[in-house]
Amino acid sequence: MNAHLSIHDVAPKTLGLVEDMLNRLEEIEITKVMLLVIPGLDWSEAQLHLLRKWASQGHVLAGHGWVHEVKTRRSLFHKLHGIFFSRYVAEHLSLDAKEIADLMQRTYDWFRDKGLPQPTHYVPPAWALGRITVRNLSELPYQSVETLNGFWIPQKNIFHRRALLGYEADTALRACILRIFNTWNRKKATMASPIRISLHPHDFSLKLADEILLDCESYACHPEPL
């Protein structure tokens, strides 16, 4: 069964962890993944060069918010979402449709400005897309946009539901919830509806680390979302 494999939160301060993760995946013969890049940070030329190197090796770069952080959660929904799921990373949730579209366009333009392959895929931080319609998304340059439940193809107004595996368990409670979540999603995945394996830079040091390579070896992993 196929699996879309991605590494989230690729940022200047996580590049060492991401590189280690890529090396560990390469040991089990996974040589191409999708890298979700946070553009609006303080990137040095050497760090950008590393992104270009990874892209030249066949890894796929995607947009992942702008700074992947919010200072204030304005709405009640955003506050509850932060408490129970996203903490302070879901930067879309306190923005309106125009602000979200502007952020996504700014992210796309950054790749061009830095001499990187322009992304065809976008993943909002914490998969929280916010108050933007598919029609709004269709006016942006991305071919696919990911949410917690799957992928939108905005220009065709098509949604592909996909099961998801995650491992960002830094507390016992999160580990318990994610084990249940992952078990359920493994059962939901089918040949017709493949699974997503979503990694974060610290996952190999967290409570579900032993499950990561087992899952990656259980599926035919590739970097493309569809």
pLDDT at 202: 96
pLDDT at 85: 57
Phi-psi region of 130 (alpha: psi -120 to 50; beta: other; left: phi over 0): left
**Percent of the chain's residues with pLDDT above 70:** 92
Total of domains in the chain: 1
pLDDT at 69: 75
pLDDT at 75: 56
Q: What is the pTM (predicted TM-score) of this model?
A: 0.93
pLDDT at 193: 84
pLDDT at 66: 96
Q: How far is CA 84 from CA 37, 88, 100, 112, 175, in A?
A: 24, 11, 22, 36, 13
Residues of the chain with pLDDT under 70: 71-88
* Domain around 106: 2-222
pLDDT at 14: 98
**Which CATH number characterizes residue 100's domain?**
3.20.20.370
